[in-house]
Structure 1
Amino acid sequence: MDFDQRRGYRRVTTQRGFTYSYYFAAPAPSTSSEPSKPFLFFAHGFPSSSYSWHKQIEFFQPLGYGFIVPDMLGYGGTDKPIDPDAYIGSGLAQDIVDIFNQEKISQVIGVAHDWGNRVLSRLINHHPECVSACAFIGSGYGPPNAQGTDPISQSKDLEKIVGYDIVAYMRFFVQPDAAKVIEEHIDSFLDLVYPVTPEVWMESMCVDGGARAWIEQDKRTSLAWYITPEDRDRQKQELMAGGLSAPLCWYKTLVQDANKKDDANVPPENYVVKQPLLYVACARDCIARPDLGDARHENCVNKDTLTRKVVDADHWVVESHPDSINAILLEWMGALKN
C-alpha cells in the first residue's frame, strides 16, 4: 500500500460535524476452509498519525484482516478543532462509531497506543457492543474518572508514588503558548518526544520546566534508531501542516469541566472491561509505566480474560519493535478463536 499517496484512505463526516480521514481495507473473503477475519481498529496517539501503524498494516493485511485506521481528531487528514471540549471521550468514541456505521461494521478488535488508549477505553465504556476484544499498548485501559481529577492536579501524589514528576511535561503542553513554542522549534520538539534514549525523558519530560527549556533552547540529539530520515520528514510535515494547537487539545481537555462531567456520565456497569483484553507494557517507558497500568487494571479488568505481555522497549514500541508487537497481537488474536 502507498501511504504517501494515501491510497486506501476514505473520508466521512461524523454526527458532530468533523470530517475524518481513515485507512480502510475489507477483510479477505471467507473460503470453505477459512472464515473471514475480523476488522482491526487501530488508534494512534500524540503526536502521531495513522501512518504510525503502517508496520502493523503491512504485516496483518496479507493475512486477510480488515482495517479501520483513522487519523485521530487533530491529526493528518482529519479535522483539527482547537476547542478542547471537542476532545471529550464520549464525542471521540461516537466519531469512531460513525466511521464503523459508514462502513457497515458491527464489531472490531481494537488496538490502541498512547492517547489512542483513551479513545478505545471510551469506545468500550459507551459502545461496548462494537468491540469484541481490545489491545492496549503502553498505558493500558483508562477507566472513567468519575471524581473529576486529572494527572496534572494529581502530580504531587503521583510523584510520591513513582519518585519523580511523571507529568511535568503536561504542565507545559497545556500552556496557551505551547503550540507556538513547539512550532518555532519543531526539530527540537521531535528529538525530545522521540528520544534517542529513554533517559532523555527522565531528564527533561519528567522535570518541572524541563520540556519547555529543552525546546526553547533548541536542544538536538541524533535521530532515534527506529526512525528513518524519511519518517522524520513525514512527521514534521504532517505536524507543521496542521499546527500543534489541535493535537495539544488532547492534553488540555483533561482539565476541562466538560471532560470531567463527560466521564461521570459513563454507565457504572461499563467501568469494568468485559471483553478479552491484551495489555502490552513497555519496560523502559518512564511515563506510561507498567506498574501504573497494572494498578488501573486491578479493579477494572476481568482477570480471567486479561493477557499481559512486556516488551523491553520505551514508549514508541509500535515503531521500534514492530516484529514483537505483531507477534504478540497475532498469538493473542489466534487464541480468541478458542
Structure 2
Amino acid sequence: MDSSLFKDVTTTRGLKYHYYSSPAVDEKPTLLFLHGFPSTSYDWRHQVPFFKEKGYGLIVPDLLGYGGTDKPSDPASYKYSLMTADIVDILDAEKVDKVIPIGHDWGSFLTSRLASYYPERFVAYGFLALAYTPPSPDFNIHGMLAFTKQAVGYELFGYWLFFAEDGSEKIVADHVDSTLSILYPSNPAIWVTDLAPTGALKAWLLADKKAPLAPYISKEDTDKFVETLKTTGLGAPVNWYKLMVSGLGAEDDKNIAKENYIVNKPVFFAGCKQDYVCLAAPAIATLGQTCPNATVAEFETDHWVQLAAPEKLNGELLKWVEGIATA
C-alpha cells in the first residue's frame, strides 16, 4: 500500500482519522475496507492492489483506536452511532457515492451499523468471517456466553471479558509472541480451548505459551505486528470490547429504527469453515432472515480469510461487485 496515498481528516466530533484513499476510475464504485482487532489498514494489503488495478475506488482507514487514527481512552467514544458518523465524514471529505463497505471481524460489526444508521449512503455490504449482525438492544455478554456454550459446547466469546479488563493491554505487551501465536495459529482449532472460553486467553498469555504461526504470516507481518504493539499498544483498541461488555453498545442500539434491522440491499458473506469463534454454518443458516439478497462464499480458512486465501477471496468479491455494478 503506497504510503503517499494516505490522508488525515478531522471528523465532525474533532477526531483525526488516518486512511488510504485512491479514486475510482470510469465511475466504478468505491470499496470501503474496514479492519478488525488487533489490526490496522495493513490487513488489506492483499486486496488494495488487486482492486486498485481494476479501477475501483478505495478508502481504507485505520479505525478508531488504531494506527495513525486518534485513540480516545473513554469507551463511550467508540459507540457505533459515533464511529459510523466518523466514517460518513470520511466519505464526505472524499466526495464519494456508490460506496460498498467490506468489513472483517469488528469491521464487520461496524459495517452492520453503517447499514443501520446510514443505509442511504451505501449500495451493498460485504462481511468477512463475521456475518451481518442486527441491532441487539438487549445484548448481555454473560447471556450470550451461556447461550453459545449450550448451543455449540463452548463459550465463543469469553476472551471479550479479558480484553475488557483493566490492564489487559499490559499483559499483551508483556507477551507479544504469545499473543501473536494465539491470534494467528497454524492450528486454528486451538481457539476452542485456548482463546474462546472465559479465562483461557489470559491463562495462555500469563503462561507465555506459544504455538506455530499460520503459514500466511510472514516475517514482515510479524515485525509489523510487534512494531505496532510497541508503538501504539492495545490500550485504545480494547475499548471496542469494553463498549460491548459494559452494555454501552446495547444501549446505543436502542437508537436504531426497527425498519433498518433488515438489509435488503446486496450482501456478500465470506464464511470461514475453520473459524472457531465466528462460526460459518449457523451464520449461513440464518442469514436469509436478515439479508434476503445475500451471496455466500465459503472458504477453507481460519478467521483471517483476507490473509489466508487472498486470491480466492478477491476473485469472489470481484465477481459479486461486478454483479452489483451491472444489475
TM-score (norm 2): 0.96
Alpha-carbon distance, 1:296 to partner: 5.2
Match of 2:306 in 1: 318
The answer as to whether partners of 1:142 and 1:296 remain within 8 angstroms in 2 is no
2:318 aligns with 330
Which stretch of structure 1 is more off in the superposition, 313-322 or 195-204? 195-204
RMSD: 1.3
1:200 pairs with 2:190: yes
**Pick from 121, 128, 131: which aligns with 1:137?**
128
- Of stretches 221-230 and 133-142 in structure 1, the one that deviates more from structure 2 is 221-230
1:168-201 C-alpha deviation (Å, 9 max, x unpaired):
2122111112111111111111111111211221
| Aligned counterpart, 1:238 | 228
Q: Percent identity?
A: 38
Contact preservation (8 Å) 1:144, 1:266: yes
Of 5, 8, 15, 2:5 maps to 8
The Cα shift of 1:321 comes to 0.4
- Mapped to 1, the partners of 2:250 and 2:193 lie a distance apart of 31
Aligned to 1:282: 272
Residue number among 3, 13, 18 corresponding to 2:15 in the alignment: 18
When residues 177 and 296 of structure 1 are mapped into structure 2, their CA distance, relative to the original with a 3 A threshold, is farther
**Aligned equivalents of 1:206 and 1:258: distance in 2?**
22
Tell me which residue corresponds to 1:104.
Answer: 95
Cα separation, 1, equivalents of 2:240 and 2:314: 27
Give 1:212's match in structure 2, choosing from 202, 207, 227.
Answer: 202
1:50 pairs with 2:41 = yes
- Deviation string 1:59-107 (CA, Å, 9 cap, x unpaired) is 1111001111000111110011121111111111000000000111133
* Worse-matched range after superposition: 132-141 or 192-201: 192-201
Q: Distance in 1 between matches of 2:141 and 2:265?
A: 26
Match of 1:306 in 2: 294
Classify the secondary structure of the residue corresponding to 1:116: helix
1:33 maps to what in 2? none
How far apart, in 1, do the equivalents of 2:180 and 2:247 lie?
30
1:248 corresponds to:
238
Q: Provide Cα deviations, 1:123-167, integer angstroms capped at 9, x if missing partner.
A: 1110011110111011110111122x2344421111101111211
Give the Cα–Cα distance (whole angstroms) in 2 for the partners of residues 291 and 81 of structure 1: 36
DSSP-derived class of the 2:124 partner: strand
Residues 181 and 296 of structure 1: CA distance in aligned 2, closer, same or farther (over 3 Å) = farther
Instruction: Give SS of 1:7's match.
Output: helix
TM-score relative to the length of structure 1:
0.93
Paired residue for 2:176, among 162, 181, 186?
186
**Counterparts of 1:175 and 1:309 in 2: how far apart (Å)?**
36
Seen in structure 2, the aligned counterparts of structure 1 residues 117 and 321 have a Cα distance that, compared at 3 Å, is: same
Q: 1:295 to 1:151 in 2, by over 3 A?
A: farther
Q: Is the 8 A contact 2:140 2:247 kept in 1?
A: no
- Pick the aligned partner of 2:85 from 94, 114, 128: 94
AA aligned to 2:106 is W
Q: Count how many residue pairs are aligned between Structure 1 and Structure 2.
A: 326
Q: Give the 5 Å matches for 1:28-39.
A: 28=25, 30=26, 36-39=27-30
Unaligned runs of 5+ in 1: 31-35
Q: Secondary structure at the match of 1:332?
A: helix
Contact 2:159 2:200 in 1 (8 A): yes
Measure, in 2, the Cα distance between the counterparts of 1:170 and 1:291.
22
Q: Is the 8 A contact 1:48 1:75 kept in 2?
A: yes
Tell me if the contact between 2:160 and 2:245 (Cα under 8 Å) persists in the aligned partners. no
Note the alpha carbon deviations across 1:223-271, whole angstroms, 9 max, x for none: 3200101111101211221111111111110023432221011011111
Shift of 1:324: 0.9
Aligned to 1:27: 24
Cα separation, 1, equivalents of 2:142 and 2:313: 30
Aligned-partner residue type, residue 66 of structure 1: G
